[in-house]
């Protein structure tokens, strides 16, 4: 069996374990079902577009939990993946990693703006800056160290994760204390949104 098939077979089991540890939230379920979909496509030798995997993940989430559609995280999670795929997948030239990160941040920031205004009546202005350092810290340091500590039962690793997390939270709290961090606006009605859409045609 090739290395690729071994990794493809192992990835869903590792993803299920991580999803259970993470509490099976909607974003976690979305990632899990998309990964399983890609794994099955690779095993049967079919090419699968990320948009198809996203739709399959959405359908499975709704089937497993129909009430998930009333949660803001449902719409934010799936729209974020769609926006990231739009700006990063299918390009003719390979982007520099820094340019890819910048494009991803601005795509999600601007793409989320209508949803955030509709759901919460406000949107964060400093979210690209906060995400630029918070996402790598959580993804590459805090979460792996926390999982490692829980599996190895080594408290020192957990202390290191807590120290890094505390340092990151201090930075986020400082950003949140800045004078202008959110853009607040009255939530538009659905009729206003549809009227605005017709004006752009």
22-30 mean pLDDT: 83
So where are the chain's domains? 1-69, 126-179
* pLDDT above 60 (res 200): no
- Considering the chain, what is the average pLDDT of its residues? 82
178-191 mean pLDDT: 78
Concatenate the DSSP letters of all residues of 40-95 into one string: HHHHTT----HHHHHHHHHHHHHHH-GGGGGSHHHHHHHHHHHHHHHHHSS-SSPP
pLDDT classification of 192: cutoffs 50, 70, 90 = low
pLDDT at 193 (0 to 100):
61
* pLDDT above 80 (res 138): yes
Most confident of 6-15, 41-50, 110-119: 110-119
């Amino acid at each position: 069996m090739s290395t690729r098939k071994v990794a493809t077979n192992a990835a869903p089991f590792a993803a299920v374990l991580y999803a259970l540890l993470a509490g099976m939230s909607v974003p976690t379920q979305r990632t899990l079902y998309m990964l399983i979909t890609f794994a099955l496509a690779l095993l049967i030798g079919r090419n699968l577009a990320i948009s198809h995997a996203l739709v399959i993940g959405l359908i499975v989430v709704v089937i497993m939990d129909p009430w998930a559609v009333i949660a803001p995280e449902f719409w934010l999670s799936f729209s974020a993946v769609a926006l990231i795929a739009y700006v990063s997948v299918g390009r003719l030239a390979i982007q520099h990693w820094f340019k890819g990160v910048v494009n991803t941040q601005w795509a999600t920031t601007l793409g989320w703006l209508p949803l955030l205004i509709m759901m919460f009546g406000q949107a964060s202005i400093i979210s690209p800056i906060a995400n630029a350092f918070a996402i790598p810290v959580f993804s590459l340091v805090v979460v792996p160290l926390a999982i490692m500590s829980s599996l190895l039962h080594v408290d020192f690793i957990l202390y290191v994760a807590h120290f890094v997390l505390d340092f990151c939270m201090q930075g986020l709290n400082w950003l949140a204390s800045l004078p202008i961090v959110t853009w607040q606006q009255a939530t538009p009605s659905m009729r206003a949104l549809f009227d605005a859409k017709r004006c752009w045609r």
